[in-house]
Structure 1
């Protein structure tokens, strides 16, 4: 007899729904973060143009991969990922920023965005661990390690 409280990957359905909600919130924030990074890449000016232009491209490519991974994890949990800009804007704590040409302002925005993402990833990791959702735990752990290092590097850049 099948347990109707378990998802198709063997996790508690109620916990999976909660994790998927957290992931959708994270997805919304990543989409706005991605768009901001693209704008920084396109519009940056000044003496650090070459260095920052390349770094911002690296960061938006990474954010784009994470967007896809998060959406696919939501689907793995048998839920639907948020997929409209209207919902991204409505749900995101990270706010869209435009016309940033100053490198320091862009880096400050990235650091502030990473603070938000790390907070959300840690919260998602916690509920996923409690639900024994190793797939989400692993994803969040990888993101956190990578972003903590990025915060350190960008903070060192600013000094």
Structure 2
């Protein structure tokens, strides 16, 4: 087993970095969806949702940077082209979403996909003793589960 400068197995960190790049691509798609619904939201809930969507895209933008920096910390190169993002992402693309319910449902479905990916990374990073990635995924999951709960409450649905 070869260890990197962090004391982690290089084979495991390459695999984790690959998964982090996949998560990065999905977060970039999620971020762009949030920008689009922020710009295009219409209706009686405009004022509340416009502000909420800005809060969410600001948070997503921070997470994109954290993911890219974690990939670099693990010794790999982060994905950085829209072409790579589109080939890799599983998060649904929201185009011309302007209705409040559709926008919130897009957020829930996007977060559901992100949570799946994060839980897979959490397992791998735990196995690799990669506490930096593990902690990041735990924080992301905690925040996103709360957002899913809140969005479902707004929709009048349970989690």
TM above 0.5, yes or no, is yes
Q: Distance in 1 between matches of 2:122 and 2:53?
A: 26
Q: For residue 27 of structure 1, report the CA deviation from its aligned partner.
A: 0.2
| TM-score, length basis structure 2 | 0.97
Structure 2 residue 74 is the aligned partner of structure 1 residue 72: no
> What are the equivalent positions in structure 2 for 1:39-118 lying under 5 Å apart?
39-118=36-115
| TM-score, length basis structure 1 | 0.97
List structure 1 runs of 4+ shifted beyond 3 angstroms. Answer: none
Structure 2 residue 151 is the aligned partner of structure 1 residue 154: yes
2:116 aligned residue: 119
Task: Give the alignment's Cα RMSD to 1 decimal.
Answer: 0.8
Can you give the 5+ residue segments of structure 1 that lack an aligned partner in the other structure? none
Can you give the 5+ residue segments of structure 2 that lack an aligned partner in the other structure? none
Q: Distance in 2 between matches of 1:135 and 1:79?
A: 15
Q: Is the 8 A contact 2:92 2:109 kept in 1?
A: no
Structure 2 residue 135 is the aligned partner of structure 1 residue 138: yes
1:95-150 deviations in Å (ceiling 9; x for gaps)? 32211110100100100000000000000000000000000000000000001111
For these two proteins, the number of residue pairs brought into alignment is: 156
1:15 aligned residue: 12
